[in-house]
Structure 1
């Protein structure tokens, strides 16, 4: 480890903390439906959408109606994307003449981008046409991110409202988030990337002659526009197979740093928005403090392990940190930081191959996802997932100290606790169940490149990434098969929507409750004790649930490595 590496991490956090309040205030304006400086330009566009769709943005919805509209919208988008991919060969915008995407892969990809996972069992530059990238995939990058933020707004209203029957209007939330946040920021972001050398063209490829005189076809396309929203919306799908390790997606150290910032910035801002919504910004800062503590612990372990390198290689005279699978232009510190950032959020973009990390270095991204990606989490999904843990923490605190389980002025009763447990239990049930199945059946065992603990880790990582809606992978797993495309598709759908529906039910129940003024019997939820309890609950639940599987995978892999055994 070097001082430059730690300065990079410190600068990254400092800039994010400086941006938290202004970003949170902008999100709060959208949460309340207030005018912004962009309304003068985009207000007519917003109203035009409402008229075209026959929507009254002021007609609010109860939690059931909000959930139904959200589910139908996402199901329609999934079917639309499936149709685009299957009909790719017949559609325009296909300069390379690529064939239609196979059925099982098209279904997997449609589910993947609908759920904000962006798992890719294909090489983008040789599978997807420009039209498929723009219309089928980039469209989802906007709308799945907008859906996540809208759902967070719905839960915020549940905590903030008093004896209310509604939690907002799904269509109005999604439209405002897209028009006044995601779209304008992505345009500016894409222009920055273009200036840094990221391509933005409708051309399919360019033929070049290398220095050795060989011919090479270099894939191009509308890369910058997809890159911007994939990072800002914590989507993560790569235009190229190498993702953000590809120089056309991430050409310089500056673009690498900005990409990491953009992955986290909305998640940080939403914590402040929550505090503003419940009229106590200390609540938001307490949540952010817990997130940052978990994040720093992960960064410290990953950076330490990657900087320490592989003792087997050291014994062969190869000194230094672990550079296998990493880009020289980024190095160990920026690669380790990127890996933790992308899995602490539900982004999944990678600038290094996680499969080539040391065993414990690779364990950190895996464990980040197994915690439910609440360390910062995806846009919207991270904060509403974290608030589910907060409900459990309040309940546990009440049991331990005999105080009334209340949170931000709402009494937490058995209904909220049961629904929170139901939502949180989805993650381990799906991850461990599907991993166990794939570890014993022939189609599942045909996927891993490696045998032993690392091969098990490849399977475990795939289902963890799918259920957590992340999309990164231990790339040694061959997942482009009907078996894995099918099961991973199911995992992604369950991991997204089987958590959202109980969460919306909690929001509806909380909105209908009377506020409870704080008293001497209320457990304080803003100080260091509360932050420590939150961190403890998250680690205990994650640790107790997933420790056996981690022991069979990355931990066994690490013990074998220090004994000099490589798989």
Structure 2
């Protein structure tokens, strides 16, 4: 790598580490309501008015079942709205291009997609979604789905931190405060920064212009625009990922400069990173929070640098012909180059974001496997807002249990005993993801609707199918490309994958929180350590082993096999 690339990577990690503490403290004050925030003078009246209008008793707290029911009802109501708004957008305002209603099966898929923080897009946004639908139907869900993840993480943390209690917080208060005090202020600042880089923010009709080519003078070209900056910032900050344009963050209106590209990557990791500090602050063990953060960073660095090295090495297909190998620039923006493209790919698939500034389908087989592997770990390398923290904590619980028993130590975590119930719920949450991914992928490649949707045959086609169900189950939303997933069966099964990957994980997570919150805290000298180099190694090893055991066979049949066949002169 060039020296400038090392500097950029170092700067990225350094800024992330510096922002970790202040934002983590702010989130702690917002969620635990301990101390004042800098926004109290402006937002407290609005917060209290919201409670009054919605008849919310902010002094009442919920047990884990009540919390789960509240979260599910809130999300299902949002999905209904997200279904009907695009279906009725031809009757609604802010539709200067007179875009018609969205097809029912696409609206169904979109409603689940945005409600689950996935933002898988089976449509072309600039052609099929009005400004009103973008803002009210989609951007609104970007806020609420992000707040849902953070709220569930907060409930899980309270389950670990509190002793001999029955409640894990008030879901309505958590949702309101996260939106008002965290997501809205950060989105406002982020949108202004993106506007400063040239990202449009208006309600103008699409521009028509005549191209310079004399042969096309009679046919005007269309230049889409609209309220892009406001949608872009929450798409990244909330790790949502749905683009205003079909080209997503590769479009110059969404991501015009290298500086905007750098800021967008920071926005994706900003809240998931800070939640590790919030967790350390909540459990009064900052060393444990930093150990989790370091584990995430190390996993990210290993995978992102591997992706860069593989893409920079070039295509081995040309080696037998004596052609000098060049870095693989296919499917990439020249204004970003190999490093910023592969770094963005690693960032967006390490978090549950799904925003892309390149075509992942154009990556070489092994480098294309890296984003796939990132997601298959369970969106826990920083991961989604909230979901990354509780996903990682499930692995922590599993790690301290397994390695504790192997070394004769008490299965406990931060003073709470890890018993059969907690392990069953943790394993259930992890296994649901693997069953959804592998089961639905197998169904697709053995069905006519799945085979006809493939853009390529052979191992590359398998990778396309697998990527779609990994991306949707892990609530990432990025697309590998090549796969035509607009058919009714694909829309339904991908929607089910998104639903399973979100809510069938949330319920076991809250069940673990409900079990832990009732326990007494105990002190034992034989409990496995939860900080330091040994803990980081054990946690990282457990994550890699679980993912490898579940996905190595299918990776072998997909990207690994394709790489070996390229060496024999066969491409797909």
Superposition TM-score tier, normalisation by shorter sequence: over 0.9
Query: How far is the alpha carbon of 1:7 from its aligned partner?
Result: 2.4
Secondary structure class of the residue paired with 1:462: helix
Query: Which residues of 2 match residues 227-306 of structure 1 at below 5 A?
Result: 227-306=232-311
Is the CA contact (8 Å cut-off) linking 2:316 and 2:325 kept in structure 1? no
What residue is the counterpart of 2:421 in the other structure?
A: 415
TM value normalised by structure 2: 0.98
Alpha-carbon distance between aligned partners in 2 of 1:533 and 1:311, rounded to the nearest angstrom: 36
Alpha-carbon distance between aligned partners in 1 of 2:272 and 2:361, rounded to the nearest angstrom: 26
Alpha-carbon distance between aligned partners in 1 of 2:547 and 2:81, rounded to the nearest angstrom: 36
Do residues 5 (structure 1) and 11 (structure 2) align? no
Do residues 513 (structure 1) and 519 (structure 2) align? yes
Alpha-carbon distance between aligned partners in 2 of 1:328 and 1:198, rounded to the nearest angstrom: 19
**RMSD of equivalent CA atoms:** 1.0
Query: Which residues of 2 match residues 324-473 of structure 1 at below 5 A?
Result: 324-473=330-479
Alpha-carbon distance between aligned partners in 1 of 2:211 and 2:169, rounded to the nearest angstrom: 57
Do residues 207 (structure 1) and 208 (structure 2) align? yes
Alpha-carbon distance between aligned partners in 2 of 1:204 and 1:446, rounded to the nearest angstrom: 37
Secondary structure class of the residue paired with 1:251: coil
Alpha-carbon distance between aligned partners in 2 of 1:324 and 1:344, rounded to the nearest angstrom: 22
Deviations 1:44-86 (A, max 9, x none): 0000000000001121000000000000010010011101111
Do residues 542 (structure 1) and 553 (structure 2) align? no
Query: How far is the alpha carbon of 1:313 from its aligned partner?
Result: 4.0
Do residues 58 (structure 1) and 59 (structure 2) align? yes
Is the CA contact (8 Å cut-off) linking 1:162 and 1:514 kept in structure 2? yes
Secondary structure class of the residue paired with 2:99: coil
Query: How far is the alpha carbon of 1:560 from its aligned partner?
Result: 1.3
Alpha-carbon distance between aligned partners in 2 of 1:380 and 1:562, rounded to the nearest angstrom: 42
What residue is the counterpart of 1:557 in the other structure?
A: 562
Query: How far is the alpha carbon of 1:397 from its aligned partner?
Result: 1.4
Alpha-carbon distance between aligned partners in 2 of 1:160 and 1:186, rounded to the nearest angstrom: 30
Alpha-carbon distance between aligned partners in 1 of 2:368 and 2:274, rounded to the nearest angstrom: 28
Is the CA contact (8 Å cut-off) linking 2:313 and 2:325 kept in structure 1? no
Query: How far is the alpha carbon of 1:318 from its aligned partner?
Result: 6.0
Alpha-carbon distance between aligned partners in 1 of 2:325 and 2:284, rounded to the nearest angstrom: 54
Deviations 1:8-53 (A, max 9, x none): 2222111111111111111111121232110101110000000000
Is the CA contact (8 Å cut-off) linking 1:130 and 1:204 kept in structure 2? no
What residue is the counterpart of 1:23 in the other structure?
A: 23
Is the CA contact (8 Å cut-off) linking 2:120 and 2:472 kept in structure 1? yes
Query: How far is the alpha carbon of 1:312 from its aligned partner?
Result: 2.0
Query: How far is the alpha carbon of 1:309 from its aligned partner?
Result: 1.3
Alpha-carbon distance between aligned partners in 2 of 1:291 and 1:347, rounded to the nearest angstrom: 16
Query: How far is the alpha carbon of 1:211 from its aligned partner?
Result: 2.9
Query: How far is the alpha carbon of 1:317 from its aligned partner?
Result: 3.4
Is the CA contact (8 Å cut-off) linking 1:190 and 1:228 kept in structure 2? yes
Alpha-carbon distance between aligned partners in 2 of 1:59 and 1:562, rounded to the nearest angstrom: 64
Is the CA contact (8 Å cut-off) linking 2:118 and 2:476 kept in structure 1? yes
Alpha-carbon distance between aligned partners in 2 of 1:270 and 1:548, rounded to the nearest angstrom: 34
Query: How far is the alpha carbon of 1:289 from its aligned partner?
Result: 1.2
Alpha-carbon distance between aligned partners in 2 of 1:27 and 1:561, rounded to the nearest angstrom: 49
Alpha-carbon distance between aligned partners in 2 of 1:317 and 1:332, rounded to the nearest angstrom: 20
Deviates further, 1-10 or 276-285: 1-10
Secondary structure class of the residue paired with 1:152: helix
Is the CA contact (8 Å cut-off) linking 1:117 and 1:235 kept in structure 2? yes
Deviates further, 313-322 or 364-373: 313-322
Runs of 4+ in 1 over 6 A off after TM superposition: none
What residue is the counterpart of 1:501 in the other structure?
A: 507
Secondary structure class of the residue paired with 1:90: coil
Alpha-carbon distance between aligned partners in 2 of 1:561 and 1:259, rounded to the nearest angstrom: 34
What residue is the counterpart of 1:216 in the other structure?
A: 221
Alpha-carbon distance between aligned partners in 2 of 1:100 and 1:553, rounded to the nearest angstrom: 38
Query: How far is the alpha carbon of 1:564 from its aligned partner?
Result: 2.3
Query: How far is the alpha carbon of 1:480 from its aligned partner?
Result: 0.7
Alpha-carbon distance between aligned partners in 1 of 2:459 and 2:103, rounded to the nearest angstrom: 32
Secondary structure class of the residue paired with 1:55: coil
Deviations 1:304-333 (A, max 9, x none): 011111122454736421100000000000
Query: How far is the alpha carbon of 1:209 from its aligned partner?
Result: 2.4
